[in-house]
Chain A
Amino acid sequence: MGYELRPHTADVAVAATGADLGETFAAVADGLAAATCDEIPATGERFSLTVRAEGLEALLFDYLDRLIYERDVRGVLPVVNEASVHESDGGWLVEASARGVPFADVTARDVKAVTYSEMRVEETDGGWEAYVVLDV
């Protein structure tokens, strides 16, 4: 369970697995952080976020987009992500948290955006898996 960075000609892909949806989403978010920097320092405070969307792929897209937004606006790199995913009012909800490492503490590269290209969120025998291409 966890994530792997996968090759993509121009960008970077993240393949993640988890026992449940929340663990899988958090693993993708950790992959996003890994695509941004190689070594993660132990600094920073945790912060929380909640995102709603109409479907599971849309939720994963919006969750990662929100992390990128928080990164730029708070000036921190979100790492060590935790998430739980539920159905809610006919849609989906992710309640998540991350530790925000101040930019000053880390040498990081920009990931521009999350894409829908080749995105998958699928249930497997052992849990869930997801695949996301990030625009670098």
Chain B
Amino acid sequence: MTTREFDDIQLERVREFVWEMPREGDMCVPARVLASEALLDEIGEDKTLQQLKNATHLPGMTGHAICMPDGHQGYGFPVGGVGATDVETGCISPGSVGYDINCGVRMLKTNLTYADVQGHEEELVEALFANVPSGLGGGGIVESGIDTVEAVLSRGVDWALEEGWAVEDDLTHCEDEGRRPDADSSAVSQKAKDRGKNQLGSLGSGNHFLEVQRVTDVYRDDVAGAYGLEPDQVVVLIHCGSRGLGHQTCTDYLRKIEKRHGDLLADLPDKELAAAPAGSELAEEYYGAMCACINFAWVNRQLIMHRVRQVFERVFDRPWEAMDMHLLYDVAHNIAKKETHTVEGEERELYVHRKGATRAFPAGHPEVPAAYRDVGQPIIIPGSMGAGSYVLRGGEASMDLTFGSTAHGAGRLMSRTQAKQEFWGETVQNELREQNQVYVKAQSGATVAEEAPGVYKDVDEVVRVSDALGIGDKVARTYPVCNIKG
């Protein structure tokens, strides 16, 4: 048997791209890493594997704690982590969802080709940057009071539809039609609402961005046809989350759990894994609050998407409907959802925690929107500013291997502090423009350096592993044209 050892952690090769960390000590279940040798070398360099091992201690963990091919060190649960816990005997863990609840990605299609956009890049990037709030303190697209925040938390994209910020078609192309039925806005604190009200319709900063892209490759014609994607087509990718409202909600529940369930916490190797026992008052409250934050994040991305439509109308001087600017799909990659999965032949209801991992349900699954049920759910995997992004579809093997999940991006390789030593924002910006014809505009040069293409893993390799394992199948690749960030 092939084994690899990283510090004190040993991994056994189960088959190509599947590595197992056997159960030992207080681990509730074994763990698995889905990676090629090259990706595993990178995963083994930081504390990802120790964090994955720690996550196996969560009560009620089922099957394996799993690290996706783009996994890297985070806090508590590793980024790229998937963990399913029993909804009756397990727990729900805010720290295993992360601070940015429903951080995710959506893709907006157009009928424009790259040739239509060439020559307009400068104007487009300036107009997007001027009209989509980003960075710290940039405000939001909607000036909202507490009543608006309450409505958004409760009704999600239904609110946006009523207010003229969405069309019906947007709802039918979003998970849960853009509204979590379990949302409980009363479980979200006033502090969180205060933070959220100035930020509704904003990108934030860090790795969040908005990118105009062109489709460079199509790998599965039939699925790409069903998604409405073809070579040379221009699309827009939006990556952001629930902003300060979600961050505060996670923080609030970490502290509540620490105070009320200290005994459970004392048995966990990392306080950041804080979990509320299934069935407890706090588990129910957190689930309701998290679902409300999911709604907030969907509306946040919806507002930005609708603003992008308006910007394109001005730049290309025609109505957005004439440019077929329709939502392909919206995927969450920091979330926990109650889902039914078959485990050892038995149907079980589980909280599936995906922290830096994307749901990847295959064709035929009843929770895939009707528009995509025959081909499988679209998955959007953003790459860095200098690399491609990918559209995948939920693979047949995902339900057996990963509780219906795959990767969420390229995965970071280099720290932000090191990135700023190695790259200079302006140089990165100039090189991208001169060598790659990618137009970048950011609030801060430091953000450009921190997000330079060289700080990320090879997204092609991440997607190759996902495709080979059959958890997320390659459909199309896109490449940046314009990018704005905070």
> A-side interface residues toward B, CB under 8 Å?
5-12, 36-38, 54, 58, 61-62, 65, 68-69, 71-73, 75, 77, 103-104, 107-110, 112-119, 133, 135-136
Chain B, 192-208, CB within 8 A of any chain A CB: 194-195, 198-199, 204-206
Partner-contacting stretch, out of B21-29, B364-372, B410-418: B410-418
A9 near B136: Cβ-Cβ < 8 Å: no
Inter-chain contact A108/B195, CB cutoff 8 Å: no
Q: How many residues of B contact A (CB 8 A)?
A: 48
Assess whether B255 is in contact with A110, with CB atoms less than 8 Å apart.
no
A77 CA to B444 CA in the complex, in Å? 15
Inter-chain contact A112/B137, CB cutoff 8 Å: no
Q: Let me know if B272 and A107 touch, CB within 8 A.
A: no
Q: Which of B136, B206, B271 touches A116 (beta carbons < 8 Å)?
A: B271
- Once the chains bind, are B73 and A10 in contact (CB under 8 Å)? yes
Q: Could you say which residues of chain A place their CB within 8 Å of the CB of B443?
A: 107, 109
Q: Judge whether B75 and A117 touch: CB under 8 Å.
A: yes
> Cβ of A10 and Cβ of B250 under 8 Å apart?
no
Which residue of B has the minimal Cβ distance to A136?
B206
Secondary structure of the B contact surface, majority rule: mixed
The answer to whether A110 touches B206, judged by C-beta atoms less than 8 angstroms apart, is: yes
Known A112-B99, A117-B272; further 19 A-B contacts with Cβ < 8 A: A8-B417, A61-B255, A65-B248, A69-B195, A73-B194, A73-B198, A75-B198, A103-B137, A109-B444, A110-B135, A110-B206, A112-B204, A113-B247, A113-B251, A115-B76, A115-B99, A116-B272, A135-B98, A135-B247
- State A71–B417 Cα separation when bound (angstroms): 23
Residues of chain A within 8 A of B274, CB atoms compared: 116
A108 touches B135 (CB 8 A): yes
Return chain A residues, CB-CB under 8 Å to B231.
Answer: none
For residue A8, which residues in chain B have a CB less than 8 angstroms away from its CB? 73, 415-417
Q: When chains A and B are docked, how far (Å) is the Cα of A130 from the Cα of B248?
A: 23
How far is B135's CA from A5's CA once the two chains are assembled, in angstroms?
A: 20
> Are B205 and A58 in contact, with the CB atoms below 8 A?
no
Q: Are B99 and A109 in contact (CB under 8 A)?
A: no
Question: In the complex, how many angstroms separate the beta carbon of B146 from the nearest chain A beta carbon?
Answer: 13
Would you give 24 A-B contacts (Cβ < 8 Å), ordered by A? Answer: A7-B415, A7-B417, A8-B417, A9-B73, A10-B72, A12-B415, A36-B136, A58-B258, A62-B255, A69-B191, A72-B194, A75-B137, A77-B136, A108-B444, A109-B135, A109-B205, A109-B443, A113-B248, A115-B75, A115-B76, A116-B95, A117-B76, A119-B271, A135-B247
Interface hits, B99-132 → A, CB 8 Å: 99-100
Q: Are A103 and B136 in touch, CB under 8 angstroms?
A: yes
Among residues of B, the one whose C-beta sits closest to the C-beta of A57 is B271
- Is B444 touching A116 in the complex (CB atoms < 8 A)? no
Q: Closest approach, in angstroms, between the C-beta of A77 and any C-beta of chain B?
A: 7
Question: Which residues of B41-89 are within 8 A (CB) of A?
Answer: 46, 48, 72-76, 79
Contacts of B99 in A (CB 8 A): 112-113, 115, 135
> B residues within 8 A CB of A68?
244, 247
Q: Is the CB of B72 within 8 A of A9?
A: yes
Smallest Cβ distance from B417 to chain A, in angstroms? 5
